[in-house]
């Protein structure tokens, strides 16, 4: 970390609050609050965080909880702890998608990757495919919102993604004035929705004709296929997506922690994802 960062006297303003009635562990809530500040750019690289004692007092939580939260942020390089000097917001690392982050690609990666832009291919309300109603815990044939996009980093296409949401959140998903806006930010601002937990499944596939055309690769090129389901703090599924990623332009990064929910715990939540891959 640059010497100038280590001599900063200003300290980050601590955001939000811990929800005492939430089933989400305190350390996870705190890490998510800090992660939002860092990845949104509100906490710039090199900014000094308050001391552990100050964080404990601000949120009325134990030092052990604070240290768990900081460790979660330190592993992917979002913060850096310097012995005898304090904890600082980290500097951008090599280009990769932090797939475990509760933020979407736009908010989660613009801090590290550069400008993320989008082309909207489809934004409409209509009957959802069976895999999406199954994932969202909706009756077969239910209507909902579909948002289909190509995502670019510094002008290069990296991702083709289709999101499906329940009808209650359709307006936020289909009424984009700015195609580069973040879906998760719109859901947070309009409906108070935050990703509390979720699942991300990854497979290796070969690009078929349409995928090859959209992602500007040859037919048969290896791609990463990602299937995601997100829950809010009430464990209500509110977004599922399928995405196809060019890993030659954007790597996938996963954070591993001992406290990761068990497969059984995840499976007990409402909503599940099917195995067919036809969008």
pLDDT tens for the chain, 279 residues: list them: 444 444 454 578 898 899 998 878 899 889 989 988 887 778 988 999 999 999 999 999 999 999 999 998 887 678 998 888 899 998 765 555 555 555 555 455 544 555 678 999 999 999 999 999 999 999 999 999 999 999 998 788 999 999 999 999 999 999 888 888 888 888 888 888 888 888 889 999 999 999 999 999 999 999 999 999 999 888 899 999 999 999 888 877 766 555 544 333 334 444 555 544 434
pLDDT reported for residue 203: 95
pLDDT reported for residue 221: 96
Q: Is 53 helix (H, G, I), strand (E, B) or coil?
A: helix
CA atoms within 13 A on the CB side of 174: 16
**Tokens 């719109």 -> residue:** 186
Domain boundaries, the chain: 3-89, 96-267
Select from 83, 84, 240 the least CA-distant residue to 165.
Answer: 240
pLDDT reported for residue 107: 52
pLDDT reported for residue 24: 81
Write the DSSP string, 56-123.
HHHHT--HHHHHHHHHHHHTTTSEEEETTTEEEEPPP-SSEEETT-SS-HHHHHHHHH--EEEEEEEE
Rounded Cα gap, residues 1 and 278, in angstroms: 45
pLDDT reported for residue 276: 44
pLDDT reported for residue 265: 39
**With contact defined as beta carbons under 8 Å apart, do 32 and 39 qualify?**
no
pLDDT reported for residue 266: 38
> Which CATH number fits the domain 96-267, given the four candidates 3.30.9.30, 3.40.1410.10, 3.20.20.140, 2.40.110.10?
3.40.1410.10
CATH architecture observed for domain 3-89 = Orthogonal Bundle (1.10)
pLDDT reported for residue 239: 95
pLDDT reported for residue 260: 42
């Amino acid at each position: 970390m640059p010497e100038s960062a280590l001599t900063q006297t200003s300290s980050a303003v601590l955001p939000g609050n811990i929800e005492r009635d939430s089933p989400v562990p305190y350390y996870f809530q705190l890490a998510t609050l800090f992660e939002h500040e860092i990845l949104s750019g509100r906490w710039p690289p090199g900014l000094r965080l308050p001391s552990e004692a100050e964080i404990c007092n601000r949120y009325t939580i134990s030092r052990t909880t604070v240290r768990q939260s900081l460790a979660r942020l330190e592993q992917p390089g979002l913060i850096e702890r310097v012995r005898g000097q304090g904890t600082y917001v980290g500097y951008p690392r090599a280009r990769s998608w932090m797939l475990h982050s509760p933020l979407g690609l736009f908010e989660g990666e613009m801090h590290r990757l550069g400008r993320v832009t989008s082309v909207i291919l489809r934004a409409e309300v209509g009957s959802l495919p069976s895999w999406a109603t199954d994932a969202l815990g909706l009756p077969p044939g239910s209507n909902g919102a579909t948002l289909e996009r190509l995502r670019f980093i510094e002008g290069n296409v990296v991702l083709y993604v289709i999101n499906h949401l329940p009808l209650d959140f359709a307006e936020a998903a289909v009424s984009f004035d700015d195609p580069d806006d973040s879906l998760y930010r719109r859901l947070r601002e309009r409906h108070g929705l935050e990703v509390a937990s979720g699942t991300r499944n990854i497979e290796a596939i070969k690009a078929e004709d349409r995928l090859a055309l959209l992602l500007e690769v040859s037919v048969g090129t290896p791609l990463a296929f990602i299937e995601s389901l997100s829950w809010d703090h009430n464990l209500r599924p509110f977004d599922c997506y399928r995405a196809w990623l060019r890993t030659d332009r954007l790597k996938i990064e996963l954070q591993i922690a001992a406290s990761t929910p068990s497969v059984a715990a995840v499976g007990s939540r409402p909503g599940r994802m099917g195995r067919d891959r036809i969008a």
